[in-house]
Structure 1
Amino acid sequence: MNDPYDNCMAACDACAHAYDACTAAYLAERDAQALADCIALDIECAQLCRFASGAMARRSVLTPSVCALCAQACDLCAAECQRHAHDHCRRCALACEACAAMCRAVA
């Protein structure tokens, strides 16, 4: 039987990697300053995803609250990424949506 957090931890980890890839791609853009808000949101969301994954691994009593916050952050980031036409943004938005759904399920 799978641990109830396994799928959520995997989604959080995948989402954090998608944020990292999106951030790196944005920083390589000619006008990264114009994307500063999106870059900052990517960084914050990646940190929240990693923290949520760690909270689940530790079986923290704060896991439901952390996962609820992570879902909220992923929703914001998905909406932001959907505003951009880049392929890395599309992949990031999909990872955000999956992570948000998984986090809501365990919150």
Structure 2
Amino acid sequence: MTGILQDRTVQRCIEDCLHCYRTCWSMAFSDNLQRGGAHAEPGHLSLMLNCAQLCETTARFMLSASTLHTELCALCAKVCGACAQSCAQLEGMEACEAACRACAQSCREVAGFELPGTFTIDQLPTTGVQGGPPRQGIMG
């Protein structure tokens, strides 16, 4: 391993990103669609799937030792924070919330700055989930 891949913080972040990717992706398709209701609300599902994809992409940037990995980590931290906040409002989403929070923290460390643990309404796209972040994307 060379460059950034020797950094233990980066190694942990890659692991956290990949874990978050797997958790969000699988829960969105298995648990949330079966439960229906707020779990299957388009904004919430969209946020979970976007979070999963960004986590995978962020891990790939770090694995390829991209010089842009810190920018991706900063964005990933924000999206994971939003996803964790949305999942916290729903029963049975503790695994996804925990994976998102761990990934957000690792990404903040790699990006080199602290973001707030929770976000204000003007910082996040919404999901439409009661108590979650506001709505996001084309579904809004």
Instruction: Confirm or deny a common fold (TM above 0.5).
Output: yes
Q: Which structure has the greater CA radius of gyration? A: 2
- What is the percent sequence identity of the aligned residues? 33
TM-score when normalising by structure 1: 0.90
The CA RMSD measured in Å over matched residues stands at 1.6
2:25 to 17, 20, 25: 20
Structure 2 residue 61 is the aligned partner of structure 1 residue 55: yes
Q: More helix by proportion, 1 or 2?
A: 1
Shift of 1:32: 7.0
Q: Which amino acid aligns with 2:98?
A: L
1:36 to 38, 42, 47: 42
Segments of 5+ residues of structure 1 without an aligned counterpart are none
Q: Which amino acid aligns with 1:93?
A: E
The one of the two structures with greater contact order (alpha-carbon pairs below 8 A, sep at least 6) is 1
Mapped partners of 1:19, 1:33: distance in 2: 12
Aligned length: 104
Classify 1:90/1:105 alpha carbon distance in 2 versus 1 (closer, same or farther; 3 Å): same
Segments of 5+ residues of structure 2 without an aligned counterpart are 112-140
